[in-house]
Amino acid sequence: MDKNNCSVDLRKLILMLSIVSGLVIVVSAFYAAYSVQRQQLIQASLANNYVYADKLAKTTDDFLGSAQQQLMFSAAVLSGKLNDKSTLASEVDRIRLQTDSFNSVLIVDVTTEVLATSPEALQITGLKLSTPGVLESIRQRAPVISNPYVSTAGNLLIFISHPIFSGNGDYLGFVAGTVYLKKKSALHRLLGEHYHKDGSYIYVVDQNRRLIYHPNAARLGETVDNNPLIDRLVQGDEGESIIVNSEGVEMLTGFAIARKTGWGVVAQRPMRAALAPLDNLMQQVVYKTLPAVILCFVVIVWSAKKISMPLRMLADGAQRMNDDGTEKNIQNVKSWYFEAQELKKAMLLGVGLLHGNIRKLREDLHKDPLTGLGNRRSLDAALQKFKNLQMDFSVLSIDIDYFKTVNDTHGHDVGDTVLQHLAQFLSHICRVDDVPCRVGGEEFIILLPGTHKVDAAKIAERLRQNVEATEIPVVGKITISVGISCYPEDARDVFAVFKHGDEMLYQAKRHGRNRVEVFRPARADAEASA
């Protein structure tokens, strides 16, 4: 009687320990995996937002620089022709219609009288203006990008001007273009095309805390006070931050400065949107693992009627299911009867599925989902490995030329196909130990361990030629620009090496694109001294 009671108690104890320990281990494993990957996703999203904000800031500077160049060319054309009304009318129409940089264009003489304007619907020709942009342009007699203000016609705008001088150097007036902030414009499109459609958005403020761009048009022109993030932008700070916006939504934020104007560009993505891929992936892991876990416990209940020691050993294994050596320990259980053998197989299946799914989760989080190349996490891991091995390496910074034109002309689906084709080129040209990564929209990096700049330049040139010679469906041929730097030859600091690579990439862009530029410290120092 006592033996029977003891046997029943032991069976219940085995079942209780197996069920409780199994649940604790599974939940702990999922919680640990979720917590680690969650933090990595947050850091990656913060970094991506900063890169995106920085890129928009640089693109905004490029847009404003291009607009100023248009006006500078026109100012040269108009020198000595301010009395020719037909020429003035033709020139303002040409500037406005040739590109979509400006919403309106006007020519003003030294007395602030408007000599010509486009479109004529503004009806300000012949008037003398005293708006802030006009007065600042007259006062400075130099190229001007004004702070936002309300014009005579009632538009909130930015005023961009260039002075007109006679052949003798006398100041005659200026030609100016306006960018309306509350109406569609090139600047509006530039800032409004966000790469996420999940509640993410961009906004821009000037040095006076005034909103220049915001997806909520009603807020344009609003001055924002008591905002720590804007305080940092006004001070010229750049970086990443987790904030709660005015609607109480937790946002992952990256922010950067447009150097030409001092405007602050802020890119924000909701925390919940950034974590959505992880939530979906963890659900899939649960769904795939759950049947095996249930099977394990059913087998345990069925087998526990007649066994004690083998079950105890298996229960001990269940308590350490997330340990690396668990599979080997379960394999060593001497299941000398059929029931124990089947239970052993089921537990091995569950452990294998759990570890396999977690490994897959980690691998997916280190790959770019579109191209299959590494992402920033895999790039960081490779750099850490090179650092531990004290290994020299070269950096190839790669960017697709005129990629925005591909997206604008053919759509983002075709743009994605172009990115995938380039990823294939990178994969084919890379050696076993090379590390190809996608780090931004059309930006790629290849790490070449143990490779000096001469060989890296040969590899880059071969890649450039292969890309240029290949036809891509719909798009045709594309080209790339490549910047090369080397660690530790160019710098002992890895961040500086990457910066040199980016500088060479932008130099390749400036020199006509479709080319390879190699960083040369001696030349860089000479240029700095000059």
C-alpha 398/C-alpha 438 separation (Å) is 9
**Alpha helices, DSSP H, located in 304-399:** 309-319, 326-331, 338-365, 376-389
Can you state the percent helix, strand and coil of the chain, rounding each to 5?
55, 20, 25
Active site residue 120: no
Q: Which residues contact 245 (CB under 8 A, 6 or more apart)?
A: 251, 268
* Residue tagged active-site, from 250, 442, 503, 527: 442
**What pairs with residue 171 in β-bridges?**
165
Beta bridge partners of 244: 250
Instruction: Give the position of tokens 């344009």.
Output: 220
- Structure tokens of 234? 């006004």
User: Do the beta carbons of residue 161 and residue 143 sit within 8 Å?
Assistant: yes
Category of 338 on φ-ψ map: left (φ > 0), alpha (ψ -120 to 50) or beta: alpha
State the virtual CA torsion across 182, 187, 190, 193 in degrees, nearest 10. 0
Among 46, 58, 44, residue whose Cα is nearest residue 399:
58
Query: Tokens 């693992």 map to which residue?
Result: 289
Main-chain dihedrals φ then ψ at residue 322, nearest 5 degrees: -90, 5
Question: What DSSP string runs through 13-33?
Answer: HHHHHHHHHHHHHHHHHHHHH
CA distance 90 to 188: 26
Contact partners, residue 58, CB within 8 Å, separation at least 6: 258
Q: Which residues are catalytic?
A: 442
